Amino acid sequence: MEETIELVVTPVKKVFYNDESAYGIYGFDVGFEDYGKVRRNPYGNITAKGTMPELELEHKYVAVLKEYKDMKYGHGYIVESIKKEIPTTAEGQREFLKHLTSAKLVDSIFEAYPDTDVIQLIHNDEFDIDKVKGVGKVTYEKLKKKVEENLELQEALSWLGKYGIKYNMVVKLVKEFKSPLILIQQLEENPYLLTKVKGMGFIKTDSIALQMGVEHDSPHRIRACIVHCIEQENQSGNAYIKKQLLLQEAQGLLQLNRSVISKELMKFLNIEKSPIICIDEEKVSLTKIYKAEEYVADKLTSILYSSKEVANFDVEKFLKRYCKDNKVKLTEEQRTFFHRFAKYNVNFLIGYAGTGKSFMQKILLSMLQELKLKYRLLSPTGKAAKVLTRYTGVQASTIHRALAIHDSEDGQPSPIEEDVILVDESSMCDVYLVQQLLRAMTNPATRIIFIGDDFQLPSVQVGNFLFDCINSGIFPVTKLTQVFRQQEGGVLDVATNIRQQNSFVSSGVEGKVRFGTDMILHAVESAHIEDGYKYYYKRALTDYNPEDIMVLSPTRKGQLGVGEINRKLQEIVNPPNFFKKEHQVSRKDGDVIFRVGDYIMNVKNTYKLEVTPETFVDVFNGDTGKIVDIDKNNKVIIIDFDDCDGVPIKFEDIDKLMHCYGITIHKSQGSGAKVVIMITDKAHTFQINANLLYTGVTRTQERLVLLSQAKTINAGIKKVASMKRNSFLGQLIEERKQLEQSAA
């Protein structure tokens, strides 16, 4: 058996590295003291290859190597394991400890222990706190904990690094599993626990698990694949997957006999508190999704059936007085809504762009003030909440912020006790969010109104809340159909034509065409679209700030995807500058540079970020802000968000940030901008439909530029997205209705 050697090496050249396989070849220098242990090449160093994390050049590592001989290339080495060296010199240990505590404390420690291996001293609990000025028991325990965690982290990095798991992902995994040792112990037992962390999907995890020696028919493997197949359906918005389709998809991934998978599925279903559930022997769902839809059906129907009409209030008299005082007229559709509000505790107000939904909310707020009822205005995203605030003149907030779940010690939402809740942009609400909102409502007499546009895109998350409720035939639904200001011939007229699937431009049109006073269609070939959006963006900057301009694309990827759009617009708005700090990160679609002054969006809810030792804030999906500093020493980006300044985002969490000069049409839903530049190229034909076009066009507040080809637009208008999804909610609502009727 070939012997292995352990020695300190320094990578000096990356010959080859493959991210997918985590296989690399490096040239390493070795210390003079280890020359006798290795066969060096003509360059005076060694070449080693194998599965390993991507290494930092000129950093010291401890490697375990095995020699091999190649007939063509001669002697070389295979990397058995490799991890960063824990420093032993005083200078190296100083730098190591400065990452864990203050520089002042580190100086005090080395004054007391100038020629000692301080890290080993702390590790062995031989550190005398009485010798060090400013170190009490609490400070020492904190430092010791950080040192131990860092030493353990190196073990985890070494263990997981050989499977190609990079540093940032290891840090996320450690955070999820609470400690590096627990992480290693649990993954040795079940590697598929890796899938608990975003970025470690089943396909990637399965490859690692098989390398670790997991059997192909392992129950852990089959169960992880089953959950993966259900989650893939969830990503399409479906709450469940048909059992036979599940078995078919799992078989394709696992390459096992279907009967083996079916048998394991039945065992998985019968486990107490199983994460999956089977309904009607055919529909397989994650238990938490089914329970969420069940709760929403129960609570909403319960609120509806406990409705009591508003006492001692003449709705018609109020409306007549309001219209007279404000010199406005209401349609019969609009009047009907106010009467339904007074009668029922649950209402849905559905209206297309320009039908007066915001106008009606203002009237409703006036009615509530006259009734002396307390109310709360909510929306799924920060942008949508700001739009609602601007239209109504009343402060609105996101549902997440109102619930403040992560501010409570028990993880329960903050109670919502108001008499009336208005939820705007309800088409964006997923079933989990509605479940949390309904759980928070503690006032049994609360009235709740869901407001939305059923031609916009449904929630990107699981379920189809708005569609299922308004088509259940149980809840009062007021649908506004009359579009005002359509005769102006601009954005609203075009939006109405798109919704009605009427072409608004001839397919042969080329060049610039104006619609009303607020819209330009510039029909150009694909090769000129990039120049087009940059031209119109620069023109818009003469009258507007970057925050007032939104460039929309149907996709993230490609030359006309938002990733590339943001790179191009960053060069225009915030180009490189010697005096501006920046930080570069690698992503699947290329390198991204974050620079002081950049306009960015947070894309994942992040809780309890420390702004000051006494101040913690939550930052939600969709919150926007500007980068004001990049602190490379502490590895944080400092951002002034719209609602809070000086928020630190760690480098390890930087995947939660994206530039937002350009965003996808899906991501724009619920928000708006003074200027919208929208791209729909023929390369996007598969993605474009009337709903997507309508959603993008209706983000416009003042000016719209549509860069496309007339033929591409007309092809999209002919297609309407299917709003039907596989969900339980409609069926569950119907069951509750039948129970109520049988009990009556």
459: number of Cβ within 10 Å: 24
Residues 78-129 have pLDDT tens digits of 888 787 777 777 777 777 777 677 777 888 888 888 878 888 888 788 888 8
Helices 137-161 + 167-177 axis angle, to 10: 120
**Class of domain 502-717 (CATH, top level):** alpha beta
pLDDT digits (tens, 9 = 90+) for 253-264: 999 999 999 999
pLDDT digits (tens, 9 = 90+) for 343-394: 999 999 999 888 889 899 999 999 999 999 999 999 998 888 888 888 888 9
Domains 292-483+728-735 and 502-717 share a fold: yes
pLDDT in tens, 234-279: 998 999 999 999 999 999 999 999 999 999 999 999 998 899 988 8
Cβ atoms of 534 and 572 closer than 8 Å: yes
Query: Distance between CA 220 and CA 215 in Å, rounded?
Result: 9
Contact partners, residue 360, CB within 8 Å, separation at least 6: 334, 337, 349, 480
Task: Supply the pLDDT for residue 361.
Answer: 94
| Residue indicated by tokens 């088409």 | 427
**170 and 156 Cβ atoms separated by less than 8 Å:** yes
Residue 337 CA: distances (Å) to CA of 347, 378, 678: 8, 19, 34
Q: What 3-state DSSP class applies to 275?
A: coil
- 3-state helix/strand/coil string of 145-187: HHHHHHHHHHHHHHHHHCCCCCHHHHHHHHHHHCCHHHHHHHH
Residue 351 CB partners (closer than 8 Å, separation 6+) = 357, 451, 453, 479, 480, 481
Tokens of 540: 């818009």
List, as own/partner pairs, every contact residues 484-490 make where C-beta atoms lie below 8 angstroms and the sequence separation is at least 24, other chains included. 484/354, 484/355, 484/356, 485/354, 486/354, 488/516, 488/517, 488/518, 489/515, 489/516, 490/515, 490/516, 490/517, 490/518, 490/519, 490/704
What DSSP letter does each residue of 21-58 carry, written as one string? TTEEEEEEEE-GGGGGGS---TTSSEEEEEE-PPPPTT
Give the pLDDT confidence score for residue 1 in this predicted structure.
Answer: 41
Taking the CB of residue 17, how many other CB atoms lie within 10 A of it? 16
Give the residue from 740, 729, 733 showing the smallest Cα distance to 289.
729
Mean pLDDT of 480-499: 83
Indicate if the pLDDT at residue 678 is higher than 90.
yes
pLDDT at 569: 96
Q: Which residues share a beta bridge with 582?
A: 595
Q: 542 vs 348, 486, 545, CA distance in Å?
A: 41, 29, 8
Q: Where are the alpha helices (DSSP H) in 178-286?
A: 180-189, 202-211, 219-235, 243-254, 258-269
Q: What is the mean pLDDT of residues 137-158?
A: 79
Domain boundaries, the chain: 4-84, 216-281, 292-483+728-735, 502-717
Task: Name 425's Cβ contacts closer than 8 Å, sequence gap at least 6.
Answer: 379, 380, 381, 384, 388, 451, 452, 669, 670
The token duo for 163 is 């499977």
pLDDT of residue 584: 85
Answer yes or no: CATH 3.40.50.720 is held by domain 292-483+728-735. no
pLDDT (tens digit, 9 = 90+) per residue, 281-334?
899 999 999 999 999 999 999 999 999 999 889 999 999 999 999 999 999 999
Phi and psi angles of residue 450, each rounded to the nearest 5 degrees, phi first: -105, 125
How many percent of the chain have pLDDT more than 90? 53
Residue 497, pLDDT > 60, answer: yes
Lowest mean pLDDT among 28-32, 660-664, 674-678: 28-32
> What's the average model confidence in pLDDT over 705-734?
93
* pLDDT tens sequence across 578-606: 889 998 887 777 788 999 999 999 988 88
Q: What is the mean pLDDT of the chain?
A: 88
pLDDT digit string (tens) for 163-185?
Answer: 878 767 887 888 888 888 888 88
Q: What is the pLDDT of residue 611?
A: 78
| CB proximity list for 578: less than 8 A, separation 6 or greater | none
Q: Which CATH class is domain 4-84?
A: mainly beta
